[in-house]
Amino acid sequence: MSEIVAFVNHGASLITPAVVEKVLRHIPLWKAEFTQINAPHFPHLVDQLQFLADAVEDTAEGAYKDLPYVAFCGAVFALTYAHKTMDLIPDHKGELGRADDSSVVRAVLIQNEKAFARYAAAQGVEWVQITSKP
């Protein structure tokens, strides 16, 4: 998992305001796209992606002001990564196609668990339902 964490941290370090602006324009479409993910081995992935998308939108729009920037950038990176179809493990590779997406999302959630748990509580979302488990 340490390699994934290093990968995520590096990717998050490359997030700029220009990247955020571009992601924000695409989030509504990506949210719809994420609902179409069929990944039975990763049953929480869709909910986790929706949660991260909401956190990014709320933070960028100023509706939620307490998410640390490191968590925000990690979430932006995870959304961008999950949107790509050709990544470390191409999404069309059957059961394993979403393993890398799930690992990236989980790494972001685990590293920033307290911050995202506070966000979930502020939004009336049960953190246990989002969970950082696959």
Domain with 107, as residue range(s), is: 2-130
Exposed/middle/buried for 47, CB within 10 Å: 0-12, 13-18, 19+? middle
| Distance, CA of 86 to CA of 63 (rounded, Å) | 33
Distance between alpha carbon 3 and the CA centroid of its chain, in Å?
Answer: 17
Given this model, what pLDDT does residue 95 score? 64
pTM (predicted TM-score): 0.90
- Location of structure tokens 């992606």: 49
The reported pLDDT for the residue numbered 16 is 96
Task: Considering only residues 70 and 2, tell me which one the structure prediction assigns the higher pLDDT.
Answer: 70
Confidence at residue 39, expressed as pLDDT on a 0 to 100 scale: 75
Tally the domains of the chain: 1
What pLDDT is attached to residue 96? 61
